[in-house]
Structure 1
Amino acid sequence: MDDSIFISQANYAKNMVKKFGIEIFKAKRTPFATHVKVTKDEDGKVVDVSLYRSMIGSLLYLTTSRPDIAHSIGVCARYQTNPKESHLNLVKGILKYVQGTYNHGLLYTFDTNTSLVGYCDANWAANTEDRKSTSGGCFFLGNNLVSWFGKKQNYVSLSTAETEYIAVGSSCTQLIWMKQMLEEYGVNPGVYYDNMSAINISKNPVQHSRMNHIDIRHHFIRDLVEEKVVKLEHVSTDKQVANIFTKGLDVNQFEYLRTSLGLCVVNI
């Protein structure tokens, strides 16, 4: 368009919903409920593996323009080896959400600035089976979303501060890579966070003994802060955009964060 670019996979989403027979069901307003706890469900009913993997693959392709389903489909994708009926129902729930929002897409406006900003968060011990935490983050160039991620951490964290510190480390790594591409434009990246413990650790030059167990590779954050390569700022939890990549949310919070990402409907 004259003042913006709208990226949408509306036709693909509509055909996918029809392909898997979901169009006859009532649409949902969120892909995952807040109370959902996903497990291997060893005693659950076995379902068609090919069907399950086909659904997962189709939804993963949709995340190209739909970061709002990235967390939910990422969780379901972990169970492709031996999916059960409970897992299939969760995937169908995501499809029901897509059914009601198939015409949503990412809006990129030309009226913006060159500030590079990241939001990151973590959900401590989110996985009920191995107690590993989930990191999530998203990055904006001006007011346009340019990158996002959601990932289960590699090992179990002993505290919320540790898991949040690991998440901010991953985000800083991504920011530095992006900054190197944009530094000729004088971009000054920042990270917005809702955990003061992680921010205080990064700014305090004295390492507390209780934090010695954090892997040394994450301590490069301190150097980045001291050298003013990045700036860590606090943001309230209700405005933490990265929450959408780490956990299930209630309808109001989910729709608010979805809009904050730049997802919307454009009539062309």
Structure 2
Amino acid sequence: MADCSTVRTPMQVHHQMTPDKDGQDTDQHQYRAMIGSLMYLTALRPYIMFAVCLCARFQAAPKNTHLQVVKRIFRYLKGAPRLGLWYSKNDKFNLLISWQYKKQTCVSTSTAEAEYIVASSYCAQVIWIQNQMLDYGITFMATPIHIDNMSAISITNNTVQHSKT
């Protein structure tokens, strides 16, 4: 793809990716390798995360249409080589942003329970990011997590565990 043309966006606007059961199969190993490379790159270019994760859903049975979308992401990256995040070791680092797009894995019986489950997921992700930052030599242990649901905050502050929590 060294001689490919560039594009302005990583995905087409309103693109609908489907399993494409009738489409032509593509090399699964190559597809997974390309997705893996892009996932690694999302640490510096988080704005491609949505497109990459959408393509990653089809790793079990990738079709040629899925490969074309992945190649479009590479074409976009070729046209924007200077975009990305720069982590300087000497500067004070106070910004931590996390974004996740995921299908719901559990059913909640209340809004408070749903918010609490999401908050616990955030905590796990913050711990993972803190450990990643330690690999870069950055100690970032006082990370605030903002929750606006008062019921979830009450559950978090309650040290007594009972059947309702």
For this structure pair, what is the TM-score category when the shorter chain's length is used for normalisation?
A: 0.5 to 0.7
For structure 2, list consecutive stretches of 5 or more residues without a partner in the other structure.
131-138, 160-165
Shift of 1:79: 1.4
- 2:102 equivalent in structure 1: 152
Asked whether the 8 Å contact 1:46–1:83 carries over to 2, the reply is yes
- 2:66 equivalent in structure 1: 87
Shift of 1:71: 2.6
1:25 aligns with 2:25: no
Distance 1:46 1:176, change over 3 A: closer
After TM superposition, the runs of 4+ consecutive aligned structure 1 residues lying more than 6 A away are none
Distance in 1 (CA, whole Å) between partners of 2:85 and 2:119 is 25
Q: Secondary structure at 2:11's aligned position in 1?
A: coil
Deviations 1:8-53 (A, max 9, x none): xxxxxxxxx52xxxx422322x323441222211122222333323
Q: Please, what is the CA RMSD of the aligned residues?
A: 3.6
Q: Secondary structure at 2:85's aligned position in 1?
A: strand
Percent of paired sites with the same residue: 33
1:169 aligns with 2:120: yes
Asked whether the 8 Å contact 1:31–1:97 carries over to 2, the reply is yes
Task: Give the structure with the larger strand fraction.
Answer: 1
Asked whether the 8 Å contact 1:45–1:85 carries over to 2, the reply is yes
Asked whether the 8 Å contact 2:25–2:63 carries over to 1, the reply is yes
Shift of 1:162: 8.2
The amino acid across from 1:48 in the alignment is D
Q: Secondary structure at 2:79's aligned position in 1?
A: helix
Distance in 2 (CA, whole Å) between partners of 1:86 and 1:163 is 39
Deviations 1:155-204 (A, max 9, x none): 26589x689734343113434675xx866xxx36132x7xxxxx33xx13
- 1:75 equivalent in structure 2: 54
Shift of 1:86: 1.7
For structure 1, list consecutive stretches of 5 or more residues without a partner in the other structure.
1-16, 113-140, 194-198, 205-218, 228-268
Distance in 1 (CA, whole Å) between partners of 2:113 and 2:16 is 19
Asked whether the 8 Å contact 1:175–1:189 carries over to 2, the reply is no
Aligned pairs for 1:105-184 within 5 A: 105-108=84-87, 110-112=90-92, 142-143=94-95, 145=96, 148=98, 150=100, 152-153=102-103, 155=105, 165=115, 166-175=117-126, 178=130
Q: Secondary structure at 1:81's aligned position in 2?
A: coil
Deviations 1:83-125 (A, max 9, x none): 112211210121121111223332235554xxxxxxxxxxxxx
Please give the TM-score of this superposition, normalised by the length of structure 2. 0.65
Asked whether the 8 Å contact 1:59–1:73 carries over to 2, the reply is yes
1:62 aligns with 2:49: no
Aligned length: 147
1:190 aligns with 2:142: no
